[in-house]
Structure 1
């Protein structure tokens, strides 16, 4: 999939994402109010962490705890959480190693949630906008979709790291034991 570069297509992708993932009032402020003047796009090399949890819809307390942990870990590893919907999270990172560490820490913290985590790196379009007195940032285009596909390929409780991310970080490898040695 080609990166989105045309301004009109970027606005359409942003409109669709805001409409489906944020309250309708945010979309209204952004596209029907003065917020439209605040929209700008940037291309960056980023690493994305996508996480899906198998949370039942009626598990409000579990989701609230999961969300707090997401926010804490994203801040700890210098990532930025994308506005997300129930039981799904997407965080962007400038540093691939920090993204991998966050994905692994999130998996350790999510014991029993059946979390699937995917980590991918690549060129990404970021949309920045101001709405409801807040600066928002969200990734658009193929990379967020790719991160979701990589996460979906993970076993419940697992982390899948894309080849380009793996090649750009020093991932600890398990030590081999020689027969007969402790």
Structure 2
């Protein structure tokens, strides 16, 4: 009789697992008979066992292969996770680099605007300084012209003063000479009149 733990099936019907187990048992028995290395377990012992497939060396080898495949799959999954993590990190780094590049571009644009503004301010300052310098030069030219005119005026005034002084001196000398001449004539006339009066009295 089958163990209590196994599910009984109606006669003539087999579960897929039992069918695979019986086929594996037949193949194992055939390989055992062909090789003569291992005796096949009996059907009754397989039916009594809770894990009948564990009695088959092929199942143990298959289980080992499946375990190796599972471990390899686990390693592959770990590799895939690392690759995915690396890809995510690469994407995050690319986003960060792109963000930094945009920030750097904005900073360069701001710096360019500042430099352009400073250059325009410097140009305006230079233009204003040139205008101031032109005004100062014009004032200096006017000052130099005024100084030259003042020198010419002083020379003219000095010449006029000197000439006027000389003319006045000559006029004063002429007046003095005329006065002296008149005085001498008056004195001579007075003497002549006195002499004439004396002569008449005599």
TM over 0.5: no
TM-score by length of 1: 0.20
Higher strand share: 1
Structure with the bigger percentage of helix: 2
Structure with higher Rg: it is 2
Higher relative contact order, structure no. (Cα contacts within 8 Å, ≥ 6 residues apart): 1
